[in-house]
Structure 1
């Protein structure tokens, strides 16, 4: 067994070394959702979700300074060399995309606002200022209302967007222009996930420090090398097997799911600690050899250990039903990872324990057994006295209160800015500044599609697009919008010598077509594609959002659907929705629709596993209690701290269902085992808490203290998940040590105590606790 295990581990280690740690944006999208289909169809023309915005802000004066405008031109030119850039979608004052329209007796003239040269004379700067102020597509959109900031936007081809390359290249360009009275801010999804990758070395360092802390705490609590090294070996080999499997399948490891990796590794450590603890108890009870002690420990704990593994894997695999590629990967790799625990911990730990030759003595003089014995003695006294009713009543009150408060949990982002990073992170400060100065850094577009070419030219269609923009502008989170209906009136006004009375749409489709032709004839390739396609069959109405909170997105989508229902058109149809906000809307809808389903299926898997293992449907309902309690408490904490249910937290929540019941399996199975030898429920509870309870206590305390170290991470998501893991572990341990024994003592379920157990008022036995200590 050991030879085969070592050989497989070495082979898997070779594959694990090749696993790629990166974020693949397409993995985050539910490809079957209608919004994503619209986004994929029109993203190259109307804008992808990889838009990056660079804001240059003058600390004194305004942007009409040759030095600042020179920085704008330098950045605009340098962005053309960034990997994966869509060169037709680089827009700034220094690009050819922003133009002014002038009319004369000879022709309609369209020329770039500031290309190819930066004006360096007072007259040139004054002319540029005047042109900006008279251009509604520039003033407010690319130059702030106070004239202190200007914006550069750049889009990337989603198929070629590699955040690991984009982030350092864009940041190098931006950093080179900082200073000299100019503040440079950079936002966008490639930058956000670039920051996550930037903090990857720190994440790995925290991971190593956490493991070191875990080693130290295990060593102190166990007082033996076997109690320290064997659980760590189980966790390490489990991780090697899982990462090797991911490499063989061709999956990458997203940096954000490293927390899930630690959570599953913690399960392997927990199972191994239980086996080592039981091995020590068997030796103390007089086992003749270490082989006999290892065999007895494995036979006694194989059932609850395997039941915990199957429950965890089953709860994890249901996440595969969420139609998002990242969730598929997390679900499959997570399930494989959990299943490896059956070998690395439940089988190999007792095998290795059987080789120990000198099990007596301790590795250090620090003795924490009095503390452990005190906690376990307290648990026995509480659950075997009238205080057990207070435990049950308290659990009911906590469940009701946390369950009601959990309804405040937000699907999607719960706060402005990115919840992945801290509010005071550079990225979130930059995003707040951009949203304060401009219409909004995040975009969503609705597509108006006609059955025939030229459908967009119809006056009724254009008027409805304009009405849609005005209707959506009432939502505070939407800072502005743009469509072709904003451009045509400007051309018509120029034709009438700038008279604002004529700033209106054409009265016929032919007139609108002529105005569009005049506009397009003076444009460069890609200028008009942001607004409509060359055949005038598809057009976009783009909305700028100041935040992408879940509530803001749902409100916008609902308002759009209401407007579409109230303004039907025969010649065109509306399609929702593209851009980053459209993508997030699809993800939120998928999570909202699948969240209850996933939790319900995970609970069903748990019920089936328990019913089969204990041959009783009541067993499934019995073990649901700690699961439901731990999850309602955790969800209420998420609602209180503003942690939304999103792509990052969904798999953690699913795995938490299995996590909430593992400890209970060991305690309850220990009670059943003791009742087979002595028909005394009080003594059975005390003995189970003295043996299995000690393993639960050691694991919970060491892991809880260790995961709290994640609070030091610069990535807020990892810190939040560290707190959630600690909370889950605490609630699960408290439920296993107090709630489950109290329920057994009060309700005496038949699958645990049998059908004819007498009620005894037996004294609380202290001997098992002392012996275990």
Structure 2
């Protein structure tokens, strides 16, 4: 009763769309032009704040103390001598030139520029009158041998400089600069810093640059290449569609569906003020591929209706739309539902990707499921083909092979192989790493300029990436307590046992140096003061000889909050998790009476928060996406078994993909999470068309074998065309200079292949073996449910 009512309403809707096609096309065209005007204004850029889970405890600490203790936008510039050491006027002159030039970079925190040529690095000397603190090399670069020797001795005798800003082999020196996060525009910072670096290369000096603004600057630098690859991919897709379809309608209409969906989605993004991150362009192609896939199915069914004797093209378009509207809409709703669950991840970038991705997918309902058949109804009755190259014999042979496998005892081999593949890939998928799986940035190739520079800096110095723990006192002056300072020092020693941590810095390193100077350099006195008053006097001596901002990287003005900064040589997910767990263990074992520790700031603290959110939300997101899929299938087919049935290709495609990610060292991070969520819907779209085709045929007769043959010959043809053309096209992303895009191209190809093979082989085999009621209906008696005589198919087409 309910199904008949829905069927009647669908028939009236289809009839209305075809009969009023002029008004439908006019309204859609006007709205598309309006959305195109807004889409042209969408901003393509990376906003770092979008990457941060703002509600996380680490992010709260980071936001509170980033201006004083350091943000996640720290940039490290290393100058390395090709011959000799850094103590030569040419190299030191370049250090001064870069230090001076950095003050003019947009968004720079001028109080956080630290180098040999800045006033921040000082040597501490004692005299009969006072403690003398003077810049180690400011304002002038020493030119004489005596001056260079004196500078060398000052560096070697200063543990806060030697090893931290001058390498242990004396061949390299470091410049660090921080940026205000609210004012950091990577599109401006990157070219300005690279221009400064390029201007100081040469004369036996190698300049290397690393840091998040530089990393995402490289991403923006490769944006023209990304757009070029995108256009080449589209051109390849056009050519392959034209070859496979042999008609202009089979080429132009699917592309038109993909283009209009993109226009509507980008227009929506512009209207609500969302930017488009360059890293999610690959997701844009993935969604566009879904629009093309749905449209190809409709064009293929339209051609089949004409061959079957439809009197007019309008009648063929009406029949195609009526038959495929349900599986098409089910695929759209499932894709959108699986995408929208990503919004639960408390990261602004994920919210944007989720909302725009869901809108983008939902527009396919109009651009492909409605507009493609409406436009087809206007086509004159086609005669002949656009070219002579015919791939249909190859397609028919593949489909005939699928029918022979499914309708013979080989179907059990298909089910067994799928089960084995699911178990093996599922077990291996547990090795998938949350966070970065390799040293260096996974966004770029390991041999990229950025990753080589980052590796060189990490090799020569303590580490380019930082994390700080904050010691927060209950009252002002709490940091002066010897117990607090000794605990800070003990924490540094404890964390130094982790190989990925190259060094650390805190107030507990500075106070002993001042005390030693007061005792004429006697190393026996290089220790923390015995009382809070003594430590306060030592801190006063230190601050009295400092410039504004010198002490802020160690503690605040009230001596209530202090930082313990750790330098990391890599930011792999495992390294970060180990460090966080070790810090928590130390804090639990060393409680403070009048203070407590807060974790964690800096880039590593931010990444730790992101990884924890992804780790806790990954299973939740996947589970919710699967739940959405089950509900959609259960509602569409009015059977709970339908949801479980369609989970099979989804589970298989995702375990295979996740195992590939684990094998290739692709971590689950901000970039891959939305692709993984969308892949759940991607893994089932093809199956909807095949299964619904079988179900539709069984409404006319009770021959299950013939129903499978007919469905594979019609819907299967569309699956083959879209899967093959899209798979070949996305492989072109492997040529990208951005490793992330190349990896995502391979992942999309794997998803498409597994989804297509599941739809052509696994799903029909499951229907034939298990014969679920929501597909075969109640017409099958016990005798009819018995295995049908296995007759090889002649031709599925």
TM-score, length of structure 2 as denominator length:
0.96
In the alignment, what sits opposite 1:340?
A: 363
Q: Give the secondary-structure state (helix, strand or coil) at the position aligned to 2:383.
A: coil
The correspondence for 2:463, drawn from 428, 440, 450, is 440
The correspondence for 1:386, drawn from 409, 412, 422, is 409
- The superposition leaves residues 357-384 of structure 1 with CA deviations (integer Å, 9 ceiling, x where unpaired) of 1312100000001110111000000000
Distance 2:317 2:430 in 1: 47
CA positional deviation for 1:622: 0.2
The correspondence for 1:302, drawn from 317, 325, 332, is 325
The correspondence for 1:423, drawn from 446, 449, 452, is 446
CA positional deviation for 1:107: 1.5
The correspondence for 2:148, drawn from 90, 104, 125, is 125
Distance 1:38 1:330 in 2: 26
CA positional deviation for 1:29: 0.1
- Decide whether the 8 Å contact of 2:408 with 2:792 is kept in 1: no
Structure 2: stretches of 5+ with no match in the other structure: 1-23
In the alignment, what sits opposite 2:21?
A: none
The correspondence for 2:736, drawn from 709, 713, 722, is 713
Q: Give the secondary-structure state (helix, strand or coil) at the position aligned to 1:280.
A: helix
Whether 1:401 and 2:424 are equivalent positions in the alignment is yes
- The superposition leaves residues 165-185 of structure 1 with CA deviations (integer Å, 9 ceiling, x where unpaired) of 000000000000001100000
The correspondence for 1:50, drawn from 73, 76, 89, is 73
- Decide whether the 8 Å contact of 2:498 with 2:579 is kept in 1: yes
Structure 2 vs 1, CA of residues 236 and 229 (structure 1 numbering), >3 Å: closer, same or farther? same
- Decide whether the 8 Å contact of 1:686 with 1:765 is kept in 2: no
Q: Give the secondary-structure state (helix, strand or coil) at the position aligned to 1:415.
A: coil
In the alignment, what sits opposite 1:616?
A: 639
The correspondence for 2:387, drawn from 335, 352, 364, is 364
CA positional deviation for 1:764: 4.2
- The superposition leaves residues 113-155 of structure 1 with CA deviations (integer Å, 9 ceiling, x where unpaired) of 0000000000000000000000000000000000000000000
Structure 2 vs 1, CA of residues 7 and 768 (structure 1 numbering), >3 Å: closer, same or farther? farther
In the alignment, what sits opposite 2:400?
A: 377
Distance 2:502 2:388 in 1: 66
Whether 1:574 and 2:597 are equivalent positions in the alignment is yes
Q: Give the secondary-structure state (helix, strand or coil) at the position aligned to 2:128.
A: coil
- Decide whether the 8 Å contact of 2:653 with 2:754 is kept in 1: yes
Runs of 4 or more above 2 Å deviation? 759-769
* Aligned 1:535-550 pairs, distance under 5 A: 535-550=558-573
- Decide whether the 8 Å contact of 2:400 with 2:794 is kept in 1: no
In the alignment, what sits opposite 2:12?
A: none
Structure 2 vs 1, CA of residues 691 and 367 (structure 1 numbering), >3 Å: closer, same or farther? same
* Aligned 1:184-333 pairs, distance under 5 A: 184-333=207-356
> What is the CA RMSD across the aligned residues, in angstroms?
0.7
In the alignment, what sits opposite 2:586?
A: 563
CA positional deviation for 1:763: 5.6
CA positional deviation for 1:678: 1.6
Structure 2 vs 1, CA of residues 264 and 177 (structure 1 numbering), >3 Å: closer, same or farther? same
The correspondence for 1:736, drawn from 750, 759, 782, is 759
In the alignment, what sits opposite 1:726?
A: 749
CA positional deviation for 1:736: 0.2
CA positional deviation for 1:762: 4.5
Distance 1:486 1:738 in 2: 67
In the alignment, what sits opposite 1:34?
A: 57
* Aligned 1:623-638 pairs, distance under 5 A: 623-638=646-661
Structure 1: stretches of 5+ with no match in the other structure: none
CA positional deviation for 1:765: 6.7
In the alignment, what sits opposite 2:130?
A: 107
Distance 1:350 1:764 in 2: 35
- Decide whether the 8 Å contact of 1:682 with 1:762 is kept in 2: no
Distance 1:108 1:658 in 2: 69
Distance 1:141 1:585 in 2: 24
In the alignment, what sits opposite 1:520?
A: 543
Distance 2:705 2:69 in 1: 71
In the alignment, what sits opposite 2:16?
A: none
In the alignment, what sits opposite 1:665?
A: 688
Whether 1:74 and 2:97 are equivalent positions in the alignment is yes
- The superposition leaves residues 178-225 of structure 1 with CA deviations (integer Å, 9 ceiling, x where unpaired) of 011000000000000000000000000000000000000000000000
Q: Give the secondary-structure state (helix, strand or coil) at the position aligned to 1:408.
A: coil
In the alignment, what sits opposite 1:761?
A: 788
The correspondence for 1:530, drawn from 539, 553, 556, is 553
CA positional deviation for 1:754: 1.3
- Decide whether the 8 Å contact of 1:402 with 1:633 is kept in 2: yes
In the alignment, what sits opposite 1:483?
A: 506
